[in-house]
Structure 1
Amino acid sequence: MTQNPHISLLHACRTDLEDKAVNIIATNAIDDEVLEILRPEPTTQLEHDENGQCIFVKTEEGVYSYVSPGNTHEVCGLYVIAEPDQFVAFEFEEFDVSCSHRGLLSVIDGWELNGQFFPGTDDHSVPRKDRYHEYCGVTKPWKPFHMSQNVGLIEFRIPGKGEGFRVKVSFIDNHKPCNAVLQRPQGVYTLRNYGRKINCTVSIIFPESIRVLAASVAAEERVESISPPSEKQFVETGIVKECAKRGLKDYVEIKGGDGLDPGQMVVAEDFCGVDSAPSQQKVDVACGNTAIRLVSSGEFDNSVTIAYDLYDPSLESASPSLICPTLLETP
């Protein structure tokens, strides 16, 4: 990609509602509410802007349609983002992408931009080659595509006029989220591994000020005879810095960069330990993208809770831990 990017019906109820609607129609007493439920979902048309650009970022479920205006060789992208505790799913309803016109459509598990992926290729559960699914022709992909996190991408080049596709976007609950892109530049978020041997990252596509509210990373259990067996207590070590350099296998990295892949970002700070008291110190990341990465060996149930807010360089207290070239101020 060369450009920068900045509800489905309840299927379980559909049969009962359709049966009810048939009976109502038979008596010419049609209920408006039932008709509203049975009415086809509205379609959002994806159109090139006045500059011919075609990068679309969508945060809602629904049906999206694209029809090529013709004579365009732009690579377009439908970037979909749900809430952090949801999966994204795609299901094609119509498909017409001519192979002979050099048309191509790719479904990508995650986001891709300028050759970089989120989640990073090193930390994703699916090999990179299996995260791409490419199609052309007039036969729509027969299966739904379920993303591994809250973001997914449909990337396409459709030169043939009148050709295109229609796709249904759905969001599915994810009870143990790992990798996620956060939609808002301010908030509080808890990143956990749920005891798994897995590396999890949250990405915030803004320069951010990060403050650690609580951490339990590589927590050592305290053994005390007075504690009930069902209650685990952990030693409050406080925050320990540079855990990766010490050779520890469980730690948190606060990173920054100008691309999507956390593996290509620079570490502003890394830490581990147990601390239930909010830190008064902030880590300022003056980069286009900020990431918090939790590295877990599977030996501990790790978690870290952060407060994040937009980095404001005009504040007197602003002292960035990391500055990326694109955010360097020029006189």
Structure 2
Amino acid sequence: MKATVFLSLSLIVLSAKAWPMVKKSFDLFANEAFNNIHVISDCMHVTSEPGEYVFKKVPHLVANTKETPLVEAAIEESTSEVCGLYVIGEPDTIVEITMKHYDVNCATGGLMAFVDGWELNGEYFPGIKDHHRELEERVIEFCNNYKQWPRVANKKFFRSSQNAALLQYRIPFRGSFIAHVRFHKITQPCNVLAQDTAAIFNMANFGKQRNCTLSALFPAAVSVASLKIGGKNMRGEKVNYDCGMYEDRLEVGGSSGLDAYAMEKASDVCGYSDQQGPEQAIFCGVTTVRLISTGRYQNHAAVMLRKADETDLDIATLVCAL
């Protein structure tokens, strides 16, 4: 492993061969990133800001003595802790992460991974059974193999499928990386991780067979502002809060982890309404609203969500065990 990594924020000058005007994606935003640099100091770093995220780890070496050689002292300072840069954007965005540099040695146990979504305690958002990509495709691991020859350029480019993405890293001894974060607007969002404590979210299947999840990492009061789910035989002219027997429905519930598939349900909603319905409070670590669609109908729900407190206990429909 090299002892020193020299970092540069200047633009890379490309050779003018066949395409002299074409620049790589990581060149296009170098000036933008110059004024938006974030140094990662916490093991769990949560952000919603674009820009450059820089991490560098240098082992703390104690004085060399006969009893404690310098190398042994350095190894004692090493750790196998897995840390993460958790990125969250607006509901109608996806996350783009470009690894402009990484010095993470495979041989010393170093490893990085891009996760399409978030992972906490072995659970994923969006849930494994609800995402259109297999988990093996959603988690991409990489590190530096310095024994490999010829050397391969260590710049990588990733995009998420929703407004949440995660960059995990395990650097036991020494290493560094520079990750550039950007957000891109999309027209048909499905899975959304809520960062606002009070907002209205539009959920729709756009005529597709898919499950869409809205998750908030806090206890929340939920109400349906408007609803159109299912065919006429189940919709009628009002909202039905007991739709567990129907394939197309809106599930409201919560859990202690990220996986919506394992949540406890408070209600199953379907039907039609253009007026706001009653609030129900979900007192769980994660509040989840899940739209299940067979693709036979154009399903849509506008969901109002706000952070719940002790004054909302009288409208609680679900209280999760601690």
**TM-score normalised according to structure 2 size:** 0.79
1:207 is the counterpart of 2:204: no
Structure 1 counterpart of 2:157: 144
Residue 51 of structure 2 aligns with an amino acid whose one-letter code is G
Which of 251, 254, 257 does residue 253 from structure 1 map onto?
251
Structure 1 counterpart of 2:228: 216
Aligned pairs for 1:10-25 (under 5 A) are: none
Q: Which SS does the other structure have where 2:261 is aligned? A: helix
8 Å CA contact 1:257–1:288 kept in 2: the answer is yes
State the superposition RMSD in angstroms.
2.1
- Distance across 2 between alignment mates of 1:269 and 1:304: 15
1:167 is the counterpart of 2:179: yes
Residue 325 of structure 1 aligns with an amino acid whose one-letter code is A
- Distance across 1 between alignment mates of 2:34 and 2:283: 46
CA deviations over 1:232-284 (Å, ceiling 9, x no partner):
xx97521113222x2x22100001011011011111111111111211x2211
Aligned pairs for 1:8-87 (under 5 A) are: 40-48=34-42, 54-70=43-59, 71-87=78-94
- Distance across 1 between alignment mates of 2:185 and 2:275: 31
8 Å CA contact 2:205–2:211 kept in 1: the answer is yes
- Distance across 1 between alignment mates of 2:212 and 2:235: 24
- Distance across 1 between alignment mates of 2:154 and 2:192: 26
1:111 is the counterpart of 2:107: no
- Distance across 1 between alignment mates of 2:33 and 2:223: 47
Structure 1 counterpart of 2:132: 125
Which of 308, 311, 325 does residue 308 from structure 2 map onto?
311
1:284 is the counterpart of 2:291: no
- Distance across 2 between alignment mates of 1:277 and 1:61: 37
- Distance across 2 between alignment mates of 1:300 and 1:140: 47
- Distance across 2 between alignment mates of 1:122 and 1:156: 25
Shift of 1:306: 1.6
Q: Which SS does the other structure have where 1:321 is aligned? A: strand
Shift of 1:123: 0.6
8 Å CA contact 2:228–2:235 kept in 1: the answer is no
Aligned pairs for 1:88-103 (under 5 A) are: 88-103=95-110
Residue 253 of structure 1 aligns with an amino acid whose one-letter code is E
- Distance across 1 between alignment mates of 2:86 and 2:302: 27
Q: Which SS does the other structure have where 1:263 is aligned? A: helix
**TM-score normalised according to structure 1 size:** 0.77
- Distance across 2 between alignment mates of 1:207 and 1:189: 16
1:184 is the counterpart of 2:182: no
Structure 2 counterpart of 1:240: 240
Structure 1 residues 39 and 260: alpha-carbon distance in aligned structure 2, compared to 1, 3 A threshold: closer
Residue 110 of structure 1 aligns with an amino acid whose one-letter code is G
- Distance across 2 between alignment mates of 1:72 and 1:303: 48
8 Å CA contact 1:94–1:140 kept in 2: the answer is no
Residue 185 of structure 2 aligns with an amino acid whose one-letter code is D
8 Å CA contact 1:253–1:271 kept in 2: the answer is yes
- Distance across 2 between alignment mates of 1:61 and 1:39: 8
Structure 2 counterpart of 1:268: 266
CA deviations over 1:178-205 (Å, ceiling 9, x no partner):
0010111111111111111111011111
Structure 2 counterpart of 1:301: 298
- Distance across 2 between alignment mates of 1:283 and 1:110: 27
- Distance across 2 between alignment mates of 1:236 and 1:195: 20
Instruction: Judge which range, 38-47 or 287-296, deviates more.
Output: 38-47
Structure 1 residues 302 and 101: alpha-carbon distance in aligned structure 2, compared to 1, 3 A threshold: same
Q: Which SS does the other structure have where 2:314 is aligned? A: coil
- Distance across 2 between alignment mates of 1:208 and 1:115: 23
CA deviations over 1:17-50 (Å, ceiling 9, x no partner):
xx9xxxxxxxxxxxxxxxx9578454211114xx
Instruction: Judge which range, 249-258 or 303-312, deviates more.
Output: 303-312
CA deviations over 1:41-91 (Å, ceiling 9, x no partner):
54211114xxxxx10001011110111143232211100001010000111
Shift of 1:314: 3.1
Shift of 1:313: 1.9
CA deviations over 1:84-104 (Å, ceiling 9, x no partner):
100001111111101111111
Shift of 1:320: 1.4
Structure 2 counterpart of 1:194: 206
Structure 1 residues 123 and 185: alpha-carbon distance in aligned structure 2, compared to 1, 3 A threshold: same
Shift of 1:318: 1.9
Structure 1 residues 275 and 91: alpha-carbon distance in aligned structure 2, compared to 1, 3 A threshold: same
